Structure 1
Amino acid sequence: MTDTPTGMEQIRDQLLDAALMHVPFDGWSEAAFRAAISDAGIEPQMARAACPRGAVDLAAAFHRRGDDLMVQHLHRTDLTEMRIRDKVGLAIRYRIEAAEDKELVRRGATLFALPQHAAEGSRLVWGTADRIWTALGDVSEDVNWYTKRASLAAVYGSTVLYWLGDETPGEQATWEFLDRRIGNVMQVEKAKAQARKNPLLKPFLIGPDFIARQIRPPHARPRHRMPGWLSPRTE
């Protein structure tokens, strides 16, 4: 398996590059999409095949491009001596800095706040949280796989919104806000750990803990045999 982009991915990338200069004025809109088609010199039919939803697909591609840049930056950084909270904070900072232009992100936030696109926006933010934890080597195989990503998605989303309105030099107020939000999450995790050690509370947690251990992330769920299912032949 290679990371070579397919023809459609290449077309999408070309359209995205061409659209970026139009989005600050037209938003992630049909007007921006048509302008990108014209500027990129791509046949409209091919553009529609690569982006069936038009500018919505370009906005999603822009978000995922930021995720890719963040992961690349993390892989080039020595994280061995860092605490987990500092690793997470650095990853979110890399992800926000990958966007560069606040107006592109602001227009995207407006688009994905619309009811018809809200689910897509949630999937993208969840995807960012998953990319961060995966890049940091998370090996959770139970309910923690979900809680880690849910908490991180909330921290990331709130930090992005704060960043959009931050006018301090170097976005210093944003990074301080991010540190506080991560601190809040760590306090919750600390309280949960203390509750499990409390002999008075421990009996009440046996049932919930057992159920939580049975929950598996999507990649670890067993495939159930269905009619017509054949097991792979082993040598």
Structure 2
Amino acid sequence: MTTALKLLAAILPHVAFDGWSDGAFVAAADDCSMPIEEARAVCPRGAADLAVLFHTEGDAAMVAALQSADLSEMRFRDKVALAVRLRLDAVTDKEAVRRGSALFALPHMAPVGAKLIWGTADAIWTALEDTSEDVNYYTKRATLSAVYGAVVLFWLGDDTDDGQATTDFIDRRIENVMQFETFKAAINNNPLTKPFAGALGRLTSHIKAPSAAPDDLPGSWNTPR
């Protein structure tokens, strides 16, 4: 287990009471018998870095569960719904997510939170072997990001024992996405709207999916592990 993961395991009991705060971070370092200077060298942003790590570890667990699931007989919408459900199942501490939602709602952390949700949507589409290389790459992830964000908020307020209310909510939101995709297809195939769709397609034809790039460029911030 890496130093960052040790700190993450140590901070979770404190997050329930103190949130993803500096006090919780100091307590986690103390629990690990780690000098605070060493802990800050691993996590320069302190608890915020551990909150990010908590989220990305959940994404990794979701991808692993999705890859081991039998999806052969499932409709695509059901695959997406399963992925969202598996992402929630990967959460080891619901209160940590609740506290994280408060952290990433702060103005200076909102871009980080948005990036994390986008990362979850991207992880789902990548695990489901999405091959989009044009503007659809972005629209799929943007739509699923909105769905996932709404699902998390609903799930945080779902007190049912079996989580069926959340499952039903996921199904409704995925159905909304599929209705939107059907609407897009109808516009592209309707003789009245096809010229407009074609013009829009030509306008967006230069938008391409991002290619692999180094993650250590100036200005980037890598999650400690």
TM-score after normalising by structure 1 = 0.88
Mapped contact 1:26–1:32 kept (Cα < 8 A): yes
Pairing of 1:11-50 with structure 2 (within 5 A): 11-50=3-42
Measure how far apart 1:181 and its partner are: 0.5
Aligned residue among 63, 70, 73 for 1:78: 70
The match for 1:183 is: 175
Give me the whole-angstrom Cα distance separating, in 1, the residues matched to 2:136 and 2:18.
41
Q: Deviations over 1:128-162 (max 9, x none)?
A: 00011001100100000000000000110100000
Letter in 1 for 2:33: G
The match for 1:229 is: none
1:102 and 2:94 equivalent?
A: yes
Q: Deviations over 1:34-61 (max 9, x none)?
A: 0100011222222111100000000000
Letter in 1 for 2:64: Q
The match for 2:222 is: none
The match for 1:135 is: 127
Give me the whole-angstrom Cα distance separating, in 1, the residues matched to 2:161 and 2:133.
41
Pairing of 1:1-235 with structure 2 (within 5 A): 10-219=2-211
Mapped contact 2:188–2:198 kept (Cα < 8 A): no
Q: Which runs of 4+ in 1 moved over 4 A?
A: none
Which runs of no fewer than 5 residues in structure 1 stay unpaired?
222-235
Give me the whole-angstrom Cα distance separating, in 2, the residues matched to 1:106 and 1:134.
26
- Number of corresponding residues: 213
Letter in 2 for 1:47: A
Identity of aligned residues (%): 56
Measure how far apart 1:220 and its partner are: 7.0
Give me the whole-angstrom Cα distance separating, in 1, the residues matched to 2:212 and 2:13.
42
Measure how far apart 1:213 and its partner are: 2.5
Q: Deviations over 1:170-223 (max 9, x none)?
A: 1110110110001011111101101111111111221111122221111179xx
| Greater RCO, 1 or 2 (C-alpha within 8 Å, sep 6+) | 2
Letter in 1 for 2:194: K
Which runs of no fewer than 5 residues in structure 2 stay unpaired?
214-225
